[in-house]
Chains A and B, each alone.
Chain A
Amino acid sequence: MPKIRLEGLVKRFGTVEVLHSIDLTMAENEFTVLVGPSGCGKSTTLRMLAGLDTLSAGEIYIDEKPVSHLEPKDRDLAMVFQDYALYPHMNVARNMSFALRLQKRPKDEIDTKVRDVAKMLGLTEFLNRKPGELSGGQRQRVAMGRALTRDSSTFLFDEPLSNLDAKLRGQMRAELALMRQRVKKNMVYVTHDQIEAMTLADKIVVMRGGYIQQEGSPEELFKRPANKFVAGFLGSPPMNFLDVTLEEGADGFFARGDGFRIALGAELAERARRKGQSEFVMGIRPSDLNYDAQAPDDAAMDLRVSISEYIGAQSVLICKCGEATVTVEIKSETPIALGDVLRFAVRMEGVHLFDKTTEEAL
């Protein structure tokens, strides 16, 4: 299976440049997820890789061979579309076998292949139905099946789950993850949903405004976001951001904000000190704040609960800390009342500092 390399990819629509020199390498058999808000260029990147959109500049290499001049059919890839893009006049079996039939493969081989894939996706009983007679989830599966029958080296997914309702989406996401384990292929997956990105990806590429913000494993991006955007985009509920001032005390450095003063780890403090400035943005994830009335002053925040969102075992509290709003997650059985001021311990490793102007992480 080849690796895919994008080099200086640029896309202009008229005079508007929507992709600014994208460089990206995807290793063999890697599940790469391009994620970002709408308009960030992720779908355009995928369509250029598929050969559906032309490049304005740059080159795409598959297995070190430039492919930008090739037609989609000569790039050895399969694609799953957001609206499934099934052929409405063909039944499920014919939809799935279309590519193989075009290649004039022997009929037996096609039949076996279609039946295998249909079995794997639970489509066997629908093989004679037309797409119009299927539900959204079944159509989604057929689209997946059509890509799988192809046996191509690379799979492209363009927001394949976004037309499904929440429950079905979760189910299909799990099935995709399962399929991922069975099918060892290059996969490039575009989504705006950070949960899909986190659960499926070997590598996440976060994009914004036609630039790559950061790439790396889900854990890497979650733990060490390169900037405030990535930090805020990944994770749910999203990270809290608070304005802080760097303060030197007797026993180290502190981040002082409106109503709290938190001791910084030695390493982070050193990086902040070297910046030579004192105003920063502190980021802390809701899961890094733990309800603990006994926490020491320099590792805790006192928050006034203004809204409690019950979501089952966990509740999300939206609290006030001075003027700022802070979200925390707690176990639902914790006895709290709206208006209470509660003390939350801050997990030291969970504290991130960002430059106030460049928004880069320290």
Chain B
Amino acid sequence: MNRQSLNRLTPYFFMAPAAVIMAIALFYPLLYMMFGSFRAWDPSQRLNETDFVGLANYTKLLRDEAFLESVTVTLTFAGTVVVAEMLIGVGLALLLDRKIRGMSVLRTLFILPMMIAPVVVGLVWRFMYHPTDGIFNRWLSALGLGRVDWLGDHALMSVIIADIWQWTPFIFILSLAALQSLPRTALEAARIDGATGWQQIVHIKLPLMAPVLIVTFLLRLIDAFKVLEVILVMTEGGPGLSTEILALRIARTAQEFRELGEAAAMSNYLLLLLMVLTLGMFAFTRWQEARAQRLNAVKQEEG
């Protein structure tokens, strides 16, 4: 091996340790799971003792009403929280993008929910939703209104509210940062061009924030599909299957029903879904980079 090719290999030597850890901690379990998803697998068995069943786990899931219900719950949950969080987060950012005394304190307060551990958030909301002692029902009774069975009849709505409370700040912070980096003079030009506050938002601010908003949206969506702790602590997926999101369903299938193969197949479905979203995001960033490059090329042409 000559010196030149050694030089070329240097980066790979440095990356090797990380690659080994990735292989052990990520790819090995992943492949293990994929392999397992094609087998009838009980936790008491070792993987090589199991029978190969082909796509049986996958096809069975497609007919499994509980699984399909869980997918619906997950889609409803993720879709609702992300849309609501985007609307509230971006709206708050637009409202608070101005010089206010004590803004930095306010900002810190706003992001507090995000910093609390999900399990704690679940516990706090479970107490607040408590049918008799919870703060919501105590207020409602004090106002002479009837009590609401938060975690019973309206369980899905209740966990959605809790998630919105916790994750809106994430979108708020990113939107605010995006807003504050917008070109000031373009907004001034819009004011002179006759744009009202609302028109400035629709025609200038939102389109210019769009790249940040799209990435934020996808990040949140991916996260929302994987949510587990808060719901586990608040409802354990109940009542019935009303809040049983996929992550919870997978955990139960593996532990309670002892169907490791099926759980693995479920995980793969979720993985596939997240993969599509991630690829979407990746494609978007690639498209953006290509665009930036094209712009740079034009600039360089001019010298």
Contact = CB atoms under 8 A, between A and B. Distances in A.
A98 B186 contact: no
B203 interface: yes
Interface string A83-111: 11111110000000011001100000000
B192 A88 contact: no
Nearest to B184: A85
Interface in A93-135: 98-99, 102-103, 130, 132-133, 135
A103 B204 CA distance: 16
Given A52-B188, A81-B185, A133-B295, A88 B208 contact: yes
A89 B208 contact: yes
Interface in B162-191: 183, 185-186, 188-191
Contacts of B204: 87
Contacts of A130: 295
B186 A88 contact: yes
Contacts of A82: 185
Interface in A58-95: 71-73, 77-79, 81-89
Given A88-B208, A89-B208, A73 B185 contact: no
A52 to B, nearest CB: 5
Residues of B contacting A: mostly? helix
B99 to A, nearest CB: 13
B295 A72 contact: no
B192 A72 contact: yes
Contacts of A99: 193-194
Interface in B79-107: none
A150 interface: yes
Contact of A85 (B189, B199, B210, B302): B189
B298 interface: yes
B195 interface: yes
Nearest to B206: A89
- Interface size class, chain B: 20 to 34
B297 to A, nearest CB: 10
Contact of B185 (A72, A85, A98): A85
A51 B192 CA distance: 8
Given A87-B204, A89-B208, A132-B298, A73 B191 contact: yes
A87 B298 contact: no
B294 to A, nearest CB: 8
A261 to B, nearest CB: 55
A50 interface: yes
A200 to B, nearest CB: 21
A83 B187 CA distance: 12
A132 B298 CA distance: 8
Contacts, number: 70
B144 interface: no
A176 B189 CA distance: 20
Interface in A129-151: 130, 132-133, 135-136, 146, 150
Nearest to B302: A135
A100 B195 CA distance: 10
Contacts of A102: 193-195, 199, 203
A86 B204 CA distance: 11
B93 to A, nearest CB: 18
B203 A52 contact: no
B191 A72 contact: yes
A82 B207 CA distance: 23
A195 to B, nearest CB: 25
Contact of B192 (A79, A83, A84): A79
Contacts of B186: 85-88
Interface string B193-218: 11110010001100110100000000
B195 A79 contact: no
A103 B298 contact: no
B23 to A, nearest CB: 42
B208 A150 contact: no
Nearest to B188: A52
Given A86-B186, A88-B186, A89-B207, A73 B193 contact: yes
B25 to A, nearest CB: 42
B190 A87 contact: yes
Given A87-B204, A133-B295, A133-B298, A150 B189 contact: no
A87 B302 contact: no
Interface string A305-348: 00000000000000000000000000000000000000000000
Given A85-B183, A133-B295, A77 B192 contact: yes
Q: Which of B191, B193, B210, B294 lies at the interface centre, i.e. has the most chain A CB atoms within 10 A of its CB?
A: B193
A132 B191 contact: no
A82 to B, nearest CB: 8
Nearest to A73: B194
Nearest to A138: B302
Contacts of B294: 133
A262 to B, nearest CB: 51
Contacts of B195: 73, 98, 102
A206 B222 CA distance: 60
Contact of A50 (B190, B192, B203, B298): B192
Q: Which of B186, B196, B208 lies at the interface centre, i.e. has the most chain A CB atoms within 10 A of its CB?
A: B186
B183 A79 contact: no
Across the A-B interface, give the 9 residue pairs with the lowest CB-CB distance, nearest first.
Answer: A85-B185, A73-B194, A99-B193, A85-B189, A132-B295, A89-B207, A135-B302, A72-B192, A72-B191
12 contacts: A50-B192, A51-B192, A72-B192, A79-B189, A81-B185, A81-B188, A85-B185, A87-B204, A98-B203, A102-B203, A136-B302, A146-B193
Interface of A: 50-52, 71-73, 77-79, 81-89, 98-99, 102-103, 130, 132-133, 135-136, 146, 150
